[in-house]
Amino acid sequence: MTKWSQAPAALLLALACATTAGILAPNTTLSPGQSISSDNGRYLLVMQGDGNLVYYRTTDWAARWHSHTYGNPGAFAPMQGDGNLVVYTGTGTPVWNSQTSGNPGAYLAAQDDGNLVIYGSGRALWNIGADVVIGDPQLAGDVVGRDLAISGLGSLGHTGMFDGSSVVEVLDEGSNAILYESLASFKARSAYWGTASPNNPNHLLNKCFKTACLQPADFEDIGARMALVKRAFQAYLIGADYTYGQHYTSAQPMVWGRVAQRGLYRCDTFIINVYEKTADDEGMGSVYPVPQLWLDRNRDLKSDVILPSKLFDKMKGWS
């Protein structure tokens, strides 16, 4: 057994002594047995009784990071006012620090994505990196799926698109059907299917992603993967209504002679519409050549009855 491992029972005891979820604020301290937890409860930073500061993934109690300071019972860890996170022995000798002093007001955050970060002046000063979980999206444009959260209809599925930090999706939950939520929240709604990573060739495009496309300066050269992210956000800004049918209306920006038009989508047709902007763009063509395989695959998404489960399975096969 490694020196930073402890029985889950001891870690659950630390949960009872947890400080404010997610944050270790300036001039606050983790004493032996105390902890902070990510908001979704999947990650826990514990100041262990043996002196080691350890960040655990609670689903399997694997240690994501630790300070290598075991063998110092009574050690404690303050988030100092100068921005430095320090582990001190019980007698006050520093044995580890984040080397982030000179940043007054900085704080430590245990994040839902598994990253442990010190933020100061609006930027990350120190971090361990997000947790790479098998089945989770890694690239902007990856499609995530889960059961439809309606009893008896789960297998029909629900899909969203990962934009690099959040999931953008369509739900019948408000005046704008296009919504953003964290990956953790998306996964918590129902049984999670995993990720379809459609092997985007990231070809060059020239597109406008503003809500009004009125002049040449509104268009930009951009790679296809980032184009997915920007198109989704453009549609979000324009707005959309929800439909239960498979026929959709594309959210359209203002152009000369036409006001902006709200979209009409459900979860799968929204992804189809976002993706077709990197292919044939609803028949509008492209300034730059689009790989034929990418054109064929995007057209295939609309060649049959459209369902979230079928969309997800097709995209998983785009190796």
User: Where do the structural domains in the chain lie, given as residue ranges?
Assistant: 8-127, 143-316
What is the Rg, in whole angstroms, of the alpha carbon atoms belonging to the chain? Answer: 24
Q: pTM for the full model?
A: 0.65
CA distance 186 to 52: 33
CA distance 319 to 310: 16
pLDDT of residue 285: 65
pLDDT of residue 287: 83
CA distance 83 to 220: 40
pLDDT of residue 68: 97
pLDDT of residue 154: 87
The tens digit of pLDDT for each residue in 261-282 reads 999 999 999 999 999 999 987 6
Q: Please list the ranges in the chain whose pLDDT falls under 50.
A: 1-20
b/e 94-106 (16+ beta carbons within 10 angstroms → b): ebbbbebbebeeb
The tens digit of pLDDT for each residue in 138-157 reads 888 999 999 998 888 889 99
- CA 1 to chain CA centroid, nearest Å: 33
pLDDT of residue 282: 67
**CATH for the 8-127 domain, from 3.30.460.80, 3.20.20.140, 2.90.10.10, 3.40.50.720:** 2.90.10.10
pLDDT of residue 281: 73
CA distance 275 to 215: 24
pLDDT of residue 112: 85
CA distance 12 to 5: 13
pLDDT of residue 1: 30
pLDDT of residue 283: 64
